[in-house]
Structures are given as C-alpha cells and as structure tokens.
Amino acid sequence: MGKRRVAILISGRGSNMASLIEAATAKNFPAEIVLVVSNIAGAGGLEKARAAGIETATVESKPFGKDREAFERALNDTLVAHNVQLVCLAGFLRLLTPWFVKQWDGRMLNIHPALLPSYRGLHTHERALADGVKIHGATVHFVVPEMDAGPIIMQGAVAVRDDDTPETLAARVLAVEHQIYPDALRLVASGSTRIEGGVCRTSANASPDDRLIAPAII
Ligand code: GAR
C-alpha cells in the first residue's frame, strides 16, 4: 500500500501542521503531506509549509460570507483536485457543515486542546483551570457533524499545576498535541483503526500501566 495522501487545513500559525510535516518526512511514515490549505490569506502556517517544500493553497472563507457550503465546495474541489485521501484539521477555525463532513466521513481528523468529551469549544485551558481539574490534555478524533465530538483516536494528558496560567498550561498541552497528532495520523493512515459502534478501536499496543496522578504526594 502506498502512502496515504494527506491535506492539512489551517487558519493560523500551524504548529500542529509543522509537527505533522516533520513526522511525515520519515521514510516509514504511512502518509505524505501533499497540500496545506488555509482559509485565511497570509496565515503564518502557509510560509512554514512552503519552507518545508509543501504545496499550499488559500481558499478564503470570508468572500463567501454566510454561505458556508459554497466555501466548502470550493475547498472540496481543491482537495479532490490534489487526490487527497485524508484530511487533518489543525487549528482550522471554521464550523463545517454536515455536507462537507460527509464527503470526508471516517477520513477527517481534528485535534482539540482538551480531554474530550470535557471542554468542547473555545478557551479550554481557562475553563479547566477555573474548574480546578488536576489532569488536562489533548484529543485527536475523527470529525462528525457535531462540533468537538466524534470517535476518539488518541489522547494525551498533563498534570495541572497550582501555579498554572492558561498560557503555561497551553504550552504543555501543545507539546502533547505535537506528539499525539502525528502518532494518531500514523495509526489511521496505516489502517490500524476501525470504528465500531461510534467508538474508535485500534490495534496499537495498549499503554503500559502508566498512571498519571496529580497532584503527586511526595
Ligand atoms: C491548537 O492548540 C489546536 O489544538 C487548537 O488550536 C491550536 C492551533 O494551533 N484547536 C482548537 O482549539 C480547535 N477547536 P496551531 O495552529 O499552532 O496548530
């Protein structure tokens, strides 16, 4: 089986995009990044992608105004023209219509900066701190029409510290994101995931007995 052809959709700085591009340079990685698309002209990630030798495209959402489906048809045409097989959302700040989600059913991944199903939506780190949770993290999941829902492929967690600010917490979670997004894409692209009853199962090795307890009593 050849490498899966992957497009990454971004709206901003594209640090997760960069981690996917970097991982995909490995010879044995089962996916290749063939295209980066931004819905925002001049998004910082575009320059990073070009510097890495990846083809980029901009399909601006703004000119389409409220006509989300017209924007998505233009976006979809771009993906299809590049023979894209898998789509990775990486800080792509657009709500997607059921039509677009259906085009990529089971073939579109998203990363969210929280341990879903907790903290869907925005300002996840602020809300986690306000609630005083002791463990927080990030989730890679398949995209379904409902926002920040869909079968969970992989999660990574960090301990929350008493002196965390949204910024310090975000930085530690981001480092986890950069690890789990390439790993999750590897699982999906190699055919190691299957969806059963709305839940993602994988033939990856289960984690060893690695408890994360926070705060730790020492
Ligand atoms: C990431 O933290 C990602 O998890 C988050 O936006 C950031 C994008 O950063 N996504 C969401 O909040 C989606 N609801 P990046 O452009 O550097 O990858």
Q: Compute φ and ψ for 208, nearest 5 degrees.
A: -65, -175
Question: What count of Cα atoms within 13 Å lies in the side-chain half-sphere of residue 108?
Answer: 20
The answer to whether the beta carbons of residues 49 and 21 sit under 8 Å apart is yes
Range of the domain at 63: 1-104
pLDDT, tens digit, for every residue of 112-140?
Answer: 999 999 999 999 999 999 999 999 999 99
Does residue 213 lie within any of the structural domains?
no
pLDDT, tens digit, for every residue of 141-191?
Answer: 999 999 999 999 999 999 999 999 999 999 999 999 999 999 999 999 999
Question: What count of Cα atoms within 13 Å lies in the side-chain half-sphere of residue 142?
Answer: 23
* Angle in degrees, CA 140, 144, 147, rounded to 5: 80
Rounded CA separation 144/96 (Å) = 9
Residues flanking ligand 1, CB < 6 Å: 10, 12-16, 90-91, 111-113, 174, 177
Ligand 1 closest atom vs CA 173: 2
Known catalytic membership, residue 82: no
Shared domain for 92 and 19, answered yes or no, is: yes
Ligand 1 closest atom vs CA 147: 14
pLDDT, tens digit, for every residue of 62-104?
Answer: 999 999 999 999 999 999 999 999 999 999 999 999 999 999 9
Task: Give the residue, out of 174, 176, 185, with the most ligand 1 atoms within 8 A of its beta carbon, to mutate for a pocket test.
Answer: 174
The answer to whether the beta carbons of residues 91 and 14 sit under 8 Å apart is yes
CATH of the domain at 67: 3.40.50.170
The pLDDT score that the predictor gives to residue 218 is 82
Q: Which of 112, 125, 136, 141 is catalytic?
A: 112
Shared domain for 70 and 91, answered yes or no, is: yes
